[in-house]
Structure 1
């Protein structure tokens, strides 16, 4: 275990009522001087530290640290004794509890004089002094000795005089938690120079003469013991004692002369005892007493003139009595000129004598909180001209005398919260021109006089929350200063209005911002924090906007504010936060926000042009608006624009920050729960006329709403049984642009005409008149700005020509037209309407539902259908054209379906060759086709495909890699050359081909060439089962899905192949020998006719294309041998060979243009061709 700082310090005990003033402060100083005893977290070992580790450490370890600190553990492993030393500063010895100790194992040290010696958890020696006990330290002088937890061992001896021998120079001694149950009177005789003695937490009884040997003692700490009485003789020989702490003992009483021997005592702590009374002159000897703590006792009464001799008393704490101390003597604190702090909190006091503090004029703090005071005498503070803090919270005060604070002009802080005050008069605070903090929260305040704060211009913090305040203000105020009327503004109760004192009349500027409205806040120019939460305010007091320039925090939560306007949020204070959450705000009208911003900009520009310096507005208000029941109607339109960042003025966002990120609509029902930042602006509507409107604009029986989003007025006369359209209001007369008229489900047969007498009809832009009796629409009935026209379910039969022309000409204005469910006449004379309907089908929303009176669909009716009386020739011509079109369509269908078979049949029989002859674009190509296949399908190639294609009647020139490729060249280059030199590429598509890498390369090369030339050069021959086409490689799968192919086994197989091959202007006949195979058929074995194929059944050893890479030319063609089988033992398909005719060609070709392979034989020579190059004979085509 490592000993560390913070491991053992004197346990901080509550110092009782006065501990923060003297005894506890001294204990803190002691703790600071003693330091932290043992470190648990090392700061790191210093190799060359300034430690005192000796050379001979015996069985101990010694470590030095940065600075001069060292630590010694004995023994080195599992130490029972630990030392921590800093020369000339301290030495700390700690023993491990419940262990056996061998102090002889500690090496001899020489630390010399030290300021502090701490012995922690070590037993007191039985036959030695403490100095001898720690002689291994080599210390001679100690200033402070701290003995801690020394009675926790059975080996420990009782503390006796012998233990302190040799410590005559000791200045301070602390003995804590040593359980000193019995002490001898001569215990401290060797310590005559002791000035400080701490004997806390020891549970002992003191001999009456134990301190007689300590005449120089100045501080005596005896708290947290179990002392039941204090003998008079105990303190008689301590003439220099300055501080005595008896906190937390069991003292029940004090004798009259118990303090007679300590005339210089300055600080006395008797808190947390069981004292019930005191002798009247018990403190008489203490003429130097300055601080006294008597809290946490059982006092029921106190004697009069208890402190008459203590003229130097400065601080008195008489608080937290455990019984009811109902009253105090009238002269208890009189005539104490040095008295500064009086703490009488939580004593259950119900009354106070008016004379309590008479003559004590220097009191600066008076704490009376937590009592049962219902009233205070008016003269209680008569002489308290120096008072700076008064605490009266948590009492039962109902009223306060107006003259209570008349002489407390130095008061800075006044606590009156948690009482029952109902009225704050104008006179109570009249003298407090230096008051900075006032706490009036949690009362029952209903009325605050208008002039209550007239004299408190220095007030910075005002708490008025949890009261019953409401500030009644005028609902309409003049907008010009020169027309303002003098009026008294009333600050009244919730249930009524209390008369307010006369004051200056309201004033405002041209923007409607009022200078004052008669609230008490008009005088608070220095106010920084105001809490008005949990009251009954219905609006934001306007005085807070312009008269509180320093206001930083305004709390208005949980009031009855129902609406806000932009003017009610124009605070002149810089960087103010206004909390309006949890109110009843359902309207936020910011309609004049942009207008006021523009006016301010214009005014600033005007004043700037006149040479005046116009300061740039730096104010910024942060308004918290969440948790309110917002009604999402047109009133909140600008607010919604603000929240949706649709306002153009960036200055508005800089000046006012509205925090409403979670504010949702309470109504209307269809918007309930939707966040205001998400509400579509078009959904924000208001009634045109309110119930109290004197002049109504809306037609009788109709409902009218305004929509700020597009400045529209919605007039809804739906289902009222109207026979005509009612007179409509002029929207421009009240700031709107157009009318959206709903007259559905009525009996209207005729629409009004436009003109000067039509009033609002001219402003109708959207007309919804479905399900009426309108039988005709005339041009003069169409408003000029009409954008939407709904005439469904009426009696219209046709639209006049002028009407259709007008509707057609308004294509850029008319957005929607609905005409369904009318009895449209489908006759020739209605052709103009039919033409209009077809031409404007996109704008007629229900065009597909337009029907003729006879049930025909209008979108399927043509002009010919309407005008059925045309001449017979026209009819006959139409019939013939129709028949011809059908024949063409039929022939086209047949040709499209069977075009391939048709062309093959024509080609086969030599008919209409102009349909199938190929262009002469490829006349210079060497081959007609290049055959791509898998070597595993060699038998099909050699026995069927190549012989048939090369012999008459086809006589095509085939490029076959076995015969025509040049040995030694790169395979990929030869594939590309073969494809380019051939007019077609025949792909023998089989399951083996799909596994061949070279086959896929050949397919891609041919496919890319076809795509590049935009000509189909691929012929796909499906050989065998290739599985599901959809499972093939994507490029091949796409080709097979979009092109035709030939399958081996098809009866038309050779005809289709021949048709897919190049078509010369004249089809090759049976006598042609164009460089291909000749003869009647394919030779199965032996040698064919000259120029044909020579085939030999050989065992294939791998992909035959690989054998063409740089093969060695043998000097003498070896004899044919039987090649080895493949690893699986299956014989390889027969491989064909082409032999030379013996006629050399200059260009490397012969026999009809075929390239001739110089070495026509495959030779297996131990894996070598003539020993020159090694070939992997087991390689598969798919392995390459």
Structure 2
């Protein structure tokens, strides 16, 4: 172990010295370096990280040098297939002491050297197919490969296999020999390896010209534990089937034919040789059946030992020209498992089906079976294939679900009808009571009905077009409904025994712990790739420890993608981070509404306190009044508008009004009690009275500064009449008022008292007459010598 580690370090240090003139490869995925199809002519420079897999296939390498793999000491897999390699230095692979897989196929190697493999003690897979060598080297080629399990060799140029070519091999499990032109085989060469599980032989030339060689080779590989496969071979005569008598004597149980051409007579002859053999499994794949006019039609014996027949990708170009069923009949009569895949199978008469009593498994998927042909094959439900347990008719041309065909089959447990174009499902169906598994996936179904059998344990309805699934199935354990348009989890109460549910790629928006608790026995859930609304509850549920919910989310949490809200769209549920507002929408909305209501109440309170509404209406009224033409002095109706507090009305009515209106000359006063228009808005009355009065008289007192309406009258008068600095305001102070004690809302009163003189109601009776004289002087409009009035601007008033 220490020696190996030291050698690896030395190789890594030497890497830099070989990097100056060598090409580079730039497709590296973790420990795998994919340099395929890059037109390389040399082994590229090793990357800076230690890699275990190197793919150099489909390049233009011609020579492998001694030091090409010095820096690749950690390799476990080396693929060199499809190059033009002609020579390999005998020490080229020495650094690859951990190599487990080596593929040198489809190159131009003329000779094989045993020295290549001296240090490859870990090698388990070796492919030497498709090169130019005629023999397997000078002998003992595979001697060092003690762990080799898979060996592929041969090609168009292989001519001879000698007895010592396989010395040293003991644990081989798979062998592939391409000997289409093999001329010499030493008896016993392969027998020394021991029983091999899988042996594939391509012996087209020997089957044509040297049947003795074929028989000798087969005698070395046949064994009860060996599956024997023949490939790339023409079987066109009865004579070619003679070597298969060795299969009978050797006890081989598995026989397969892949990519072969065989005539009907040769096939019948093969079955004759196998009639008493131990073969239990017969596979025919990628094969053409041919009819030659000179071939005799042979009867086919019964093969009671046969258990399984697999026919896959088989072409019968002259199906109607020869009795193909003659070969099939004895197989179907005895085989318990029968498979015909993708072979354009379209008919089996009822008379033939009636003869088959042993088949337990029939797979005829991927063919062109119609509804009529299936009905004919099942004898229209009258009862055939009594031992049938599984039937697969998927991917055919069926258009209707005809359960009546299977009703009498009391052993039938599994039916696969997927991949057909049913579109609709009958309302009710009669299925055998034994049915446990039903597959109706990819059948274009738009609605699910009670046609589904109550006895089902497993149901697959994936990749259809229905939106709701609510059929009660009391015994169902596994349900697959992915790829539909379902918007919510099915009602768990309908499936009390359900253990596994797959509902991927639907229109599912959310689910919760409550939904899963409806399923009494659910253990596994797959629900990725839906249109999820990633609410806070859903995200918290998905990212919590789901083991406490008894249900295991089997698909990757990264595949649960949010469709909304917009801030999380396209993100994985595991990566979503939602705000407090998104997580508590009701509470947040309540708080927001409460805040807005509080602001509105505050604004309303302030508006009420500071009479904002009144001022707005007053401003609007003032704007309207401002647009009216100003009254001339002769058009004024009153000498003075009196603004006073209701508490001072006694003084006004007892002193002011008699003194000014009943004296000579009398003055006309505007009093709100007497002269305001009934029913009109008070602001309109105030403004109208001030506009039609020569002067505005304010009766100031403690009551006045506590009166809201007096404030409004003062505000408007100051706002409307003092904008041009005229003297149309007269102030009367009934009692002493400290200017500092005047409320802040009467700021205009303080401003007026600071800028205007005012009359004080005298406390001495001797001063009262002078007071009234001064007041009349302030109120009276001036007159000319001829008795005409003039306004305060000096203009003559007619």
Query: For the pair shown, which has the larger CA radius of gyration, 1 or 2?
Result: 1
Scaled by the length of structure 2, the TM-score of the pair is: 0.41
Scaled by the length of structure 1, the TM-score of the pair is: 0.29
